[in-house]
Amino acid sequence: MQYKDYYTIMGVARDATQDEIKRAYRKLARKYHPDVSKETDAEARFKELGEAYEVLKDTEKRAAYDQLGTHWKGGQEFRPPPDWNTGFEFRGGGFTAANAADYSDFFESLFGRGFHTDGGAGLSSHANGEDHHAKILIDLEDAYQGTTRTITLRLPSADAQGHVINKERVLNVIIPKGIREGQHIRLRGQGGSGVGKGQAGDLYLEVKFRVHPLYRVEGRDIYLDLPVAPWEAALGASVKVPTLGGIVELKIPAESSSGHKLRLKGRGLPGDPPGECYVILVITLPPAVTEDAKDLYRKMAQTLSFNPRAKLGV
Amino acid sequence: MTTHNRPPPLGVCILEEQAPLTLAELCRACAVHAERIIELVEIGVLEPDGREPTRWRFGGESLYRARTVLRLQRDLSIDLAGAALALELLNEIETLRTRLRTLGMEY
């Protein structure tokens, strides 16, 4: 288990006042909130921050944490001292944060495990299960063809003693053909189980696409950069283009320029109507490494009266 | 991976393309009371079809919009109007980022 330096995580001094800690938390929470930040590690940072704040905002937990001393470094191998946690009393039997299951082993070794349920008090004998949410990362090809994917969900739940345990659940899910990024797959009855005669909740999977090496996606439309030789763009040509549905022939009109957008109708993600595939021409120069190639370039320079900077007035 | 022990595939539907959600379904999906959803409608974050709450039908975008605003409110202690504004701005940033990517410029 690794020691966590909550003061460094929050960017505050060890003698920071409670007000300073609150201000630091609010500022960092805005910065790292997973809905706001696009950093790939935003979710992890936000959780870490929440854990640090959970300890430092609470004068009792903070005092207990400070008791460990100042000689520890973040990431260092840590074992709580045997007499630790004596003489402290934690109100309310531990912590009551919504994402308590996300806290680190380090946190749990110091403050124990607790479990918090929303509105758990006064449950009637029959209650519907909660709906659950998860994200699923798929390839663009999966959305194009439709597929079946096996996903593993870790679901924090309470055991008989009220401790948090992570239950693993394996689901085999059909990815419907033509699904778009940001859409949700709804699995009826796969959420939290109901109590008594209550129905089980639903599971919602939010779809994200893995970044594709060739294609970019906007809604149902697909964009592809297509390298072309200068003579193909100048004289026109018929070239092969990879699309999600396979290789197709594309006619490049004569006098095309770089950035020119050509449309392959209905070659985007399937749907009603299907998306388009847009091909963006990128004129690629042959390298001038051989003497022959250099001669050809020199000949063009001599023959063509071409000023690429005419529009700049120079 | 072995194929023997896999559970049978689950029948699914795409939320955004199925029948719209009722107020009760949306409440459950967001794990909040109806009052919170009604607030979101009053401030214009959600725009259901139908006149009165019992007849409201929420389109597929509603789930994402409601959950984002509720999360922002809870995690950043901002009021409803602020969270609603943040949602609009976040959506606009996302649209611009997508446009940048389709132009081949990485953000």
Say how many C-beta atoms besides its own lie within 10 A of residue A192's C-beta. Answer: 19
**pTM above the 0.95 mark?**
no
ipTM over 0.90: no
Q: Are A131 and A202 in contact (CB under 8 A)?
A: yes
Interface touch A186/B77, C-beta < 8 Å: no
Nearest CA in chain B to A206: B64
The two structure tokens encoding residue A120 = 């758990």
Confidence of residue A270 (pLDDT cuts 50, 70, 90): very high
B-chain CB neighbours of A225 within 8 Å are: 104
Distance CA(A58)–CA(A19), nearest Å, equals: 12
pLDDT tens by residue, A32-58: 998 888 787 888 889 899 999 989 998
Interface touch A185/B15, C-beta < 8 Å: yes
Interface touch B9/A173, C-beta < 8 Å: yes
The secondary structure of B8-72 as a DSSP string is PPBP-EEGGGSSPBPHHHHHHHHT--HHHHHHHHHTTS---BSSSGGG-BB-THHHHHHHHHHHH
Position A18 pLDDT exceeds 90: yes
- What's the distance, Cα to Cα, between the start and end of chain A in Å? 66
Contact of B106 with chain A, judged by CB distance below 8 Å, is answered with: no
pLDDT tens by residue, B30-68: 989 999 999 999 999 999 999 889 999 998 889 999 999
Which secondary structure element, helix H or strand E, spans residue B86, and what is its range?
helix B80-102
Place of tokens 């023959």: A303
Interface touch B10/A190, C-beta < 8 Å: yes
Whole-number pLDDT of residue A49: 92
State the nearest Cα–Cα gap between B13 and chain A, in angstroms: 6
Whole-number pLDDT of residue A288: 92
State the nearest Cα–Cα gap between B64 and chain A, in angstroms: 8
Whole-number pLDDT of residue A98: 43
Place of tokens 């509720």: B70
Reply yes or no on domain B19-102 having CATH 1.10.1660.10: yes
- Give Cα separations from A108 to A31, A95, A148, A274 (angstroms): 26, 10, 37, 51
Domains of chain A: 6-111 (1.10.287.110), 132-209 (2.60.260.20), 215-303 (2.60.260.20)
State the nearest Cα–Cα gap between B14 and chain A, in angstroms: 5
Contact of B33 with chain A, judged by CB distance below 8 Å, is answered with: no
Q: Are A10 and A28 in contact (CB under 8 A)?
A: yes
b/e sequence B62-86, b meaning 16+ C-beta within 10 Å = bbbbbbbbbebbebbebebeebbeb
Contact of A259 with chain B, judged by CB distance below 8 Å, is answered with: no
